[in-house]
C-alpha cells in the first residue's frame, strides 16, 4: 500500500503564514476528523506491510527446513505405492479440457494404483467434448493404453467446486487424492515427486508451486505472474518453513483422504473451500508440506475482468474463512506465532476497504498537512512509507530473485505497475467482495475463464465467456480523474515529491478501468493459434 509524503505549498502561505509555531498544532475540528482516520488507516496498512518483511525473514531464517521432492524422510516401496484418485473439477472449459486430460493420462504412475475422475458441472458444449474425450481415453482410442478414467456429470451444481469434489469422493477408491483445475498441465513426474512424502503418517496434504504457461503473453500476465510468485515463494515458503499454518490452493496438490474426512470434509459455505478445509485439517493435528521445487504449469487470466473476478473471489472467500475459522484458531492450543500468522493471512484483504478510505482522505490530508516541513516528513511519513510501499516492492523482488537469480533485476521495471495494479487497481472490486463477506452476502462461485493461449500473437476465444463488470470500471475511471486532480494540485503547490506516488493511483485506476471497458478491442491480430482451434473432435450438442 502507498504513503504519499507531504511538503510545503500554497496552502501554508495563505492559511498559516501569520500563525505562530504553537498555533500550527491547534487544528480545528474538521482537520482532526480528517487526520485521525487518515493516520489510523496508515498505521494499520503499515502493520500489514511489516508483516511482508516478516515473511521474507521467516523464509530465509528457516531455509534449512525447506522440503524437497527428492529428499522425503521415508519412501514407499514400489509394491506399496498407495492408490491415487485424480479429481478434475471442470465447469464450461471447452478450450482446455483436452489439454488437461492429455497431461493427466500421461502421468507416470502404475495404472493399477491410479484412477481419474472428470467432475463436470458444465452447462455448455464442454459436456459433449468432455464425455467424448473420456470415452476415447477409456477405450484406448487416443494412441495409448486404456486409461482408468470416469466421467461424472452433475446438473444442479450444489456446492459448486466443493460440491463436485465431495460427490467424487463418494465413489473414489484412492487413499490419496490429487486435484487439478482445468487450466493446469502437470508434468509426467508430478505424482512420483509428491507421493513419497505421504510415507510420513502425519502428513495430510502436499502443495506444489504454480508456474505460468502464458507468462509472456501480455503485460498483464507478466504482472499477474509476479503477484502469484510472491505468494508461492514467500508466503507459502515462509509459513511452511517456520511450521505455522498455510493453505492448499485448490489445485496442484495432493490430500490424504483420511485427512479430508477427519477435518469435516469439503464444505461450501465460503468461496475458498480450499483454505477453509486446510485450516480445519491443521487444527485437528495434520501436518502440511510445501514443495517449492515441484512445478505445475497453469494458465493466467488474459483479460482484466477475468483477473478481477478471480481476485474478488479469493478476497471474499478469505474474509468468509476468517469469520468462520479465526475464532477456532484463536481458541486452539496452537502457538501464538501460528495464531498471529493466521490472523494476518486470513484478514489481509481488509486492506482494500482501507485503501478506499485512504483514497478519500489523501487529498484533504495533503492540504491540511501542507504546513509540515521535512523533519515532520522524516519522522512520520518516511517510516510509514518504508513499512507499506517499500514492503510491497521488497516482497515481490525477493520472490523474483529466488526464482530467477540471474535475471531478477529485469523485473524491477514492473515494480511501479505491481503497486498500481495489485495495491490500487483492484481496490474497488475487492472492496465490494470484502464488504459482501463481512455482511454475509452470498454469491455464486465465479469461475475464471480459460482460453488456451500461451504466446504473443495468439488470438483467444475470450468473447465466448467474457463478462462485464457493470459500473465498476466507471468508478475506477472517476477515481483516476480525482487523483489526476491531486497531481495537478501537488504540482501547482510545488509539492513535487508527492507526484510519483499520486501518479500510481492515477495509473492503477485508469489502467484497470480502461482494460475492463475495452477488453478484446485491442486483442492481438496474429496467428490464431492452430493448436487451440484445430480440435480432433466435434464441438456441439
Contacts of 404 by beta carbon, 8 Å cutoff, 6+ apart: 411
Cα 315 to chain centroid, rounded = 8
**Among 109, 243, 220, CA closest to 174:** 109
- Give the separation between CA 364 and CA 204, rounded to whole angstroms: 52
Please, are residues 288 and 240 in contact by the beta-carbon 8 Å criterion?
A: yes
Q: Does the CA dihedral 334-339-345-347 come out positive or negative?
A: positive
Compute the radius of gyration of the chain from its Cα atoms.
25
Supply 453's cell numbers. 493461449
Cα dihedral 28, 33, 36, 38, rounded to 10, equals -120
Label each residue of 171-194 as H, E or C: CCCCCEEEECCCCECCCCCHHHHH
Instruction: Say which of 181, 183, 229, 274 is annotated catalytic.
Output: 274
Q: Is 120 a catalytic residue?
A: no
Distance CA 263, CA 285 (A): 9
* Pairing mode, strands 253-256 and 149-153: unpaired
Among residues 121, 181, 183, 276, the one annotated as catalytic is 121
Q: DSSP character for 184?
A: B
183 is catalytic: no
**φ, ψ dihedrals at 419, nearest 5°:** -65, -45
- CB–CB of 219/420 below 8 Å? no
Could you give the C-alpha distances from 533 to 168, 434, 528, in angstroms and in order?
A: 31, 38, 8
Give the position of cell 514492503: 391
Residue 495 exposed, middle or buried by CB count within 10 Å (0-12, 13-18, 19+): buried
CA distance 318 to 324: 10
Helices (H) and strands (E) in the chain, counts: 21, 7
Cα–Cα dist 431/102, whole Å:
39
List residues with catalytic annotation: 121, 274
Amino acid at each position: 500500500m502507498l504513503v504519499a509524503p507531504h511538503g510545503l505549498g500554497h496552502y501554508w502561505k495563505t492559511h498559516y503564514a501569520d500563525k505562530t509555531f504553537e498555533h500550527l498544532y491547534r487544528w480545528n475540528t474538521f482537520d482532526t476528523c480528517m487526520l485521525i482516520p487518515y493516520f489510523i488507516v496508515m498505521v494499520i496498512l503499515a502493520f500489514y506491510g511489516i508483516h511482508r518483511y516478516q515473511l521474507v525473514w521467516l523464509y530465509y531464517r528457516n531455509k534449512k527446513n525447506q522440503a524437497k521432492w527428492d529428499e522425503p524422510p521415508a519412501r514407499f516401496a514400489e509394491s506399496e505405492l498407495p492408490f491415487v484418485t485424480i479429481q478434475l473439477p471442470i465447469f464450461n472449459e471447452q478450450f482446455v479440457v483436452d489439454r488437461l486430460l492429455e497431461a493427466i493420462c500421461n502421468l507416470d504412475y502404475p495404472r493399477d494404483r491410479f484412477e481419474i475422475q472428470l467432475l463436470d458441472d458444465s452447462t455448455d458444449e464442454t459436456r459433449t467434448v468432455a464425455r467424448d474425450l473420456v470415452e476415447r481415453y477409456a477405450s484406448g482410442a487416443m494412441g495409448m493404453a486404456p486409461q482408468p478414467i470416469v466421467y461424472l456429470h452433475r446438473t444442479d451444481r450444489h456446492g459448486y467446486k466443493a460440491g463436485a469434489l465431495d460427490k467424487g469422493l463418494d465413489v473414489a477408491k484412492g487413499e490419496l487424492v490429487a486435484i487439478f483445475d482445468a487450466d493446469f498441465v502437470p508434468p509426467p513426474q508430478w505424482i512420483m515427486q509428491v507421493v513419497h512424502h505421504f510415507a510420513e503418517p502425519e502428513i495430510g496434504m502436499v502443495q506444489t508451486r504454480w508456474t505460468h504457461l502464458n507468462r509472456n503473453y501480455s503485460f498483464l500476465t507478466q504482472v499477474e505472474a509476479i503477484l502469484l510468485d510472491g505468494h508461492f515463494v514467500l508466503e507459502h515458503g515462509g509459513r511452511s518453513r517456520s511450521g505455522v499454518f498455510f493453505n492448499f490452493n485448490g489445485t496442484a496438490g495432493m490430500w490424504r483422504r483420511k485427512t479430508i474426512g477427519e477435518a469435516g470434509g469439503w464444505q461450501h459455505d465460503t468461496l475458498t473451500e480450499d483454505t477453509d478445509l486446510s485450516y480445519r485439517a491443521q487444527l485437528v493435528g495434520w501436518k502440511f508440506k510445501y514443495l517449492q521445487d515441484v512445478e505445475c504449469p497453469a494458465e493466467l487470466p488474459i483479460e482484466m475482468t477475468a483477473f478481477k473476478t478471480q481476485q474478488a473471489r479469493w478476497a471474499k472467500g478469505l474474509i468468509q474463512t476468517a469469520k468462520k475459522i479465526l475464532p477456532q484458531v484463536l481458541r486452539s492450543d496452537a502457538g501464538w506465532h501460528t495464531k498471529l500468522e493466521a490472523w494476518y493471512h486470513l484478514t489481509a484483504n481488509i486492506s482494500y476497504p482501507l485503501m478506499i478510505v485512504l483514497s478519500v482522505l489523501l487529498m484533504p490530508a495533503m492540504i491540511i498537512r501542507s504546513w509540515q516541513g521535512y523533519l515532520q516528513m522524516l519522522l512520520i511519513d518516511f517510516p510509514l512509507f518504508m513499512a507499506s510501499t517499500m514492503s510491497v516492492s521488497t516482497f515481490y523482488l525477493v520472490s523474483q530473485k529466488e526464482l530467477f537469480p540471474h535475471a531478477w533485476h529485469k523485473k524491477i521495471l514492473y515494480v511501479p505497475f505491481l503497486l498500481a495494479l495489485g495495491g490500487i487497481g483492484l481496490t474497488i472490486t475487492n472492496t465490494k467482495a470484502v464488504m459482501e463477506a463481512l455482511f454475509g452476502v452470498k454469491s455464486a462461485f465465479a469461475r475464471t475463464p480459460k482460453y488456451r493461449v500461451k504466446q504473443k500473437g495468439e488470438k483467444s476465444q475470450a468473447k465466448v465467456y467474457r463478462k462485464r463488470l457493470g459500473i465498476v470500471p466507471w468508478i475506477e475511471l472517476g477515481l483516476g480523474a480525482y487523483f489526476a486532480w491531486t497531481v495537478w494540485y501537488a504540482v501547482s503547490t510545488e509539492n513535487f515529491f508527492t507526484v510519483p506516488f499520486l501518479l500510481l493511483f492515477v495509473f492503477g485506476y485508469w489502467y484497470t478501468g480502461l482494460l475492463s471497458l475495452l477488453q478484446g478491442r485491442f486483442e492481438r491480430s496474429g496467428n490464431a493459434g492452430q493448436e487451440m482451434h484445430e480440435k480432433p473432435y466435434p464441438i456441439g450438442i
